[in-house]
Amino acid sequence: MRLESAVAAVSVLNYGAITRSWEVHAQGKPLSVVLGYKDLHQYLADPFYLGAIVGRVANRTANGRFRLNGKTCQLTQNEGRHHLHGGIKGLGRRLWQMERDGARRLRLRYLSPDGEEGYPGTVRFTVDMALSGSRLTYDMRAVPDRPTPINLAQHNYYNLAGGQGDIFDHSIRIQAAQYTPTDGEGIPTGQVCDVEGTPLDLRKTVALHRVDPERKGIDSNLLFDPGRDRKKPVAELRAPNGLRLRMWSDQPGLQLYTGAGLKRPAFRAFTGMCLEPQYPPDCLNNPGFCAIIATPETPYRQVLTVDINGDDAG
């Protein structure tokens, strides 16, 4: 389905609740500022989660294992010995029901059965998407029938140059003073460290080629200031063509991934980057991190708003 406003158009698939394209105008021509495949069949074998809603639990869970109410739960292990983005067939690889509500709103629904990918409980997921001018909102909800972990992430790969070239000429700012260090397999050590004095200090706008001059790639979870002004964006991205992305989130942090692994014929490394608001990775095995157990009485909700427009558009 396609959502349209006077200044933007967004195409959405019922497979994986995927945002396939997001067109805006820059320098007099339409550009799709998220990466997507031209051939729909390519999504079936996509290893990058392009544009998908990922979960039940986004990011990595060490050894695919956690304890809940005194019992050990074993999830599918789809990244070596670890669990990533909901497993082999997580939410980003399922068929959702999709219905339109006018020209600028749609709703996606998915019923995840008990035991899917190893997760306990049946969960009703809904994602409401609304386009208002240049601003797109994802309202993600999940209602389980018993306690179960939920931590969703929206997985767009952004390139404000319309997918032309890499993202190193973009400038970035993220309102985060701390991060969670990881080991060589991307699993958090359990520490929470200050970004000051590290390449992850992105509190002031900086060009990505200065953040990562050796092009090693970044795949790190940053933690927002809990006392931040919720009216201000948690992240901003700018490109030389004048396009600007601003992002608002109610989540405690954000995974920054600069796309080093995009090495397939359809894409090259660093041709898109992810800004994924979520709870920290491996929350289930780190008591010092945030709790992500949803219940029938305390269901899950995440609201993500992204605005992409020209510098002169407000």
Which among 284, 304, 300 has a CA at the least distance from the CA of 234? 304
From its phi and psi, is residue 185 left (phi > 0), alpha (psi between -120 and 50) or beta?
alpha
Instruction: Out of 83, 85, 155, 170, pick the active-site residue.
Output: 155
Active site residue 276: yes
Return all residues near 213 (Cβ < 8 A) that are at least 6 apart: none
Q: Which two tokens stand for residue 107?
A: 């709703």
Return all residues near 231 (Cβ < 8 A) that are at least 6 apart: none
Bridge-based pairing state of the strands 293-294 and 148-149: antiparallel
The H or E element that residue 211 is part of is helix 208-211
Q: What share of the chain is helix, strand, coil (3-state, %, to 5)?
A: 10, 45, 50
Active site residue 209: no
Question: Using an 8 Å Cβ cutoff, are 283 and 152 in contact?
Answer: no
Query: What is the Rg, in whole angstroms, of the alpha carbon atoms belonging to the chain?
Result: 18
**N residues, the chain:** 314
Instruction: Out of 116, 117, 236, 276, pick the active-site residue.
Output: 276
Return all residues near 225 (Cβ < 8 A) that are at least 6 apart: 175, 176, 177
Which residues are annotated as catalytic? 155, 276
